[in-house]
Structure formats: C-alpha cells, structure tokens
Structure 1
Amino acid sequence: MTKAERALETRERILTAACEVIADIGFENVSMRKVAEHAGVSKALLHYHFDTREKLFAEAMTHSFAQTGTDTDADAEGGSVPAAVVLARILRSMLPSDAELRQDWKLWQELWVRAQRDAAARHLAVDLYDQLHAWVGGAVERGIRSGEFADCDVAALSTLVMALCDGLGIRLMLDDPGVDLATARSTIWRTIAPTLAVDPTFPQI
C-alpha cells in the first residue's frame, strides 16, 4: 500500500468513526479525542486530516451522503433496471429503513439543528438537498425519456418526494406507531403514481 493509499484509508476510517460517534451521542457532545479513539488513531493524526470539529462534521456528512443509495441502478442480471424500480430504490434509501440508514438520519437531524444557527451548516444542508433533488429528478427524467412515466413537472415532483420522505422519515425515527416502513413507502408511491401514470402499488425492489 502506498503512502497516499494509507492516508486515504485512514481518512475513510476517521470519517466512518465520526459518523458513528456523532449519530450515537450528538455533535455537541463529540470531541476530537472521542473520534480519534473510536477510529483507532492518535489525536495528532486526526488533526492532521481535520483541524476542527466543524470541518470533521461537514466531511462526515458528505461522506455519509456519498454512501447512500449507491446501488439504485444495479441489476444482478446485468440488464436494464426499470425507472420505477430505480425511483423506488431511491425512496428506500431516503427513508430510515435499516440500521445504517437510521444512522444517516441521525446525522441529518444533527445537521438540521446546527443549520439553524450556523451558516456553514446551513449551506451544507442546502447543497445536500440540491443533490437529493437532482438524484430524484434524474430518475424521473429517465422514466419520462423511456416512456415509463408520463411527462410532468420534474422539479415539482422531486420536491414533493423529498418533502414526503422527510415528514414520514421523522415519524419512523420516532417509532411512531401510526407509521411503519411499508405505510410510508406506499403513501409516497400512491401520492406520486397518478402524476407518473404508473401502478399505485410500490414496486418490488
């Protein structure tokens, strides 16, 4: 392993540890020492890569975001994945449907709180939402081009999807007995199905 590869591996390990610690105890309770210990590196090495908690938090959020939904276009058979399946997989990734995604959601909640009083966090949150908007919009546009979806206002539909995911996702994070994962998914899909002119049943993914 080259020096550059070792540095990249160390950076990835630190970011993974930071995500886990922040999700576990909240950013306000996080110290650089706690992250270093969790990552199994020295505090000096941690500071070499990230000189402030704020920079570490921003990088951890970006790292977490980058790991989300990377397999939405994957098909084990090597064939083309229908646009409805791609969009359904994106919805799955945007809801706290497993332990890893619940951790991502905890990070998002930390970001929402920080964004209320910190300009850098606010800009980061807006940027990540823009990327989510483009991700959803890209899947919708793909379906329109292939003829799987009816032509529609892509930007408006993407905004609706994100709003529904946020609202229902919060209730899932609260373990609200009135909303389970299947209900959340079906509610979102039934809401957007008429606009896309597709079956209102959530696709098999």
Structure 2
Amino acid sequence: MERDGPRRAGPAHDDPGSMHVAKAERTAETRERILAAACEVIAEVGFEKIRMRMVAEHAGVSTALLHYHFENRERLFAEAMTHSFGQTGTELERDADTVPASVILARILHNMLPTDPELRQDWRLWQELWVRALRDETAQKLAVDLYDQLHTWLARAIRRGIDAGEFADCDVDEVCTLLLSLSDGFGIRLMLDDPKIDLAAAQAAVWRAVAGTLGVPDTFPEI
C-alpha cells in the first residue's frame, strides 16, 4: 500500500547516538547544578556543618542522585573547589592580543581579590580550604595544586608582557609569588571588612609592589 507522503524521521531520542549525547548533556548539567549549589552552601555554612542533604535540596535533586555523582562530602568539596576555581576569570584574557599586558595583569589581580559577591563567595571557599588543608593531606594537595595554577596564570600574563616589550625582564616566579602573597594578605583583610583597608588601597598597594620590577607606572591600570 502506497503511503500518502514521505516517511518522517522518528524523534531524536529513537537514535541511540542522540540518546547517548542527550544523556551525557543531562549528566553534565546535573553535575554543574550540584557543584554550583555546593559552592553556595559551603560558602554559607562552612564545610564542617554541611550535609549532603543540604546540597541536594539546594540543587533540587535527590540525595540518592547526589551520592551517585559524589560518593561523600569530601569528594564533593574537592570538586566544588575545582569548579569554583575554574569559573573564576575565564573571560579575563579574551582580548589579550589587543590590550596592553598591564591591563590583563591588572584584571587578574582584581579577580584575585574579593571584589564582588561572586568573588567573595570564592574567597569563603578558599578560606574553608585553608582550614581543611591544615588537617587533611588531600585538602593540602588540592590547595597547593590550585596555587600552582594561579602561579601559572600570573606567569603567563607577565611573560606575555616581557615578550611584547611592555614589562622589563625579571624573575617571573619571584614576582608571581609576591603577587599571590600580597593578594592573600589584602584579600583576608577585605573579607574581614577591616576599616583600615579598602579595595582601591589594596589594589594600589599590590600594583606598587611590582611596578618598579616590571618597569611600568605605579598607578593601577584602568581595567
């Protein structure tokens, strides 16, 4: 019997390949939602008080599904820290080929301080990690690894400036270590709302500390 028209393709979920892709996308979206929720809850109540149920409720998933993705809260904490770190500053170097290296470096330094609500949340997570790293070897290794990544991020920006002739040749690792240390110190005081320091003063002090070494003006660049 002849059909009235051409046979239409079945829905995409009938195709095994499409089903696999859709499932992978749903899994990735669920993990993303859980990790975002974990970052918010840990920053709000602290790791010691967090319960898996709290994260599940905040993410809008079942506790069973949460445990499917993360076997325990230690694993969830580590993944949440890595997630938070990965979300920070991903767009800062979007126009690195068209703006001065000093602007890129200033953007990075700006994002290494608690300059907005999202970064203040990141800072609360960092502070939780510092406390755990004093007692837990896994947390200590994670903290050192994340600092290594920050060091590499800074070093790449500084070397780009040296290669472009914008920065003076210098000991890049030494400058990065100084910048990380200063950012941590000023960041803690900003998180404490210390009345003796504000964001502008912190950024200016961090920049002045390395401006002479880099051979650039000691005024924090417009970003």
Match of 2:137 in 1: 119
Q: 1:84-126: per-residue Cα shift (whole Å, max 9, x none)?
A: 0110000011000000000000000000000000000000000
* Counterpart selection for 1:185 from 203, 206, 211: 203
Shift of 1:71: 1.4
The partner residue of 2:184 within 153, 166, 187 is 166
Residue 72 of structure 1: CA displacement?
Answer: 1.3
1:3-42 map, 5 Å: 3-42=23-62
TM-score, normalised to structure 1's length? 0.97
How do 1:10-159 residues align onto structure 2 when only pairs under 5 Å count? 10-75=30-95, 80-159=98-177
SS at match of 1:2: helix
Distance 1:8 1:195 in 2: 44
Which deviates further from its counterpart, 78-87 or 108-117?
Answer: 78-87
Q: What 5-or-longer segments of structure 2 have no aligned partner? A: 1-20
What is the CA distance between 1:184 and its match in structure 2? 0.4
Q: Return the letter of the residue paired with 2:206.
A: I
8 Å CA contact 1:72, 1:89 repeated in 2: yes
Match of 2:221 in 1: 203
**Partners of 1:73 and 1:204 in 2: how far apart?**
15
Considering only CA atoms, is the larger Rg found in Structure 1 or Structure 2?
2
Task: Report sequence identity in percent.
Answer: 67
Say whether the 8 Å CA contact 1:73–1:81 is kept in structure 2: no
* Contact 1:133/1:162, CA 8 A, preserved across alignment: yes
Which amino acid counterpart does residue 107 of structure 1 have in structure 2?
A: L
CA distance in 2, matches of 1:115, 1:81: 38
Equivalent-residue separation in structure 2 for 1:74 and 1:183 (angstroms): 27
Equivalent position SS for 1:156 = helix
**Gaps (5+ residues) in structure 1?**
none
What's the counterpart of residue 15 of structure 2? none
Deviations 1:135-193 (A, max 9, x none): 01110000000000000000000000000000000000000001100000000011110
Secondary structure of the structure 1 residue equivalent to 2:181: helix
Deviation string 1:25-69 (CA, Å, 9 cap, x unpaired) is: 000000000000000000000000000100000000000000011
Give the SS at the match of 2:114: coil
What is the distance in 2 between the residues matched to 1:72 and 1:173? 22
Task: Give 1:81 deviation, angstroms.
Answer: 2.0
Question: Given the alignment of the two structures, is residue 176 of structure 1 paired with residue 194 of structure 2, yes or no?
Answer: yes
Shift of 1:74: 2.2
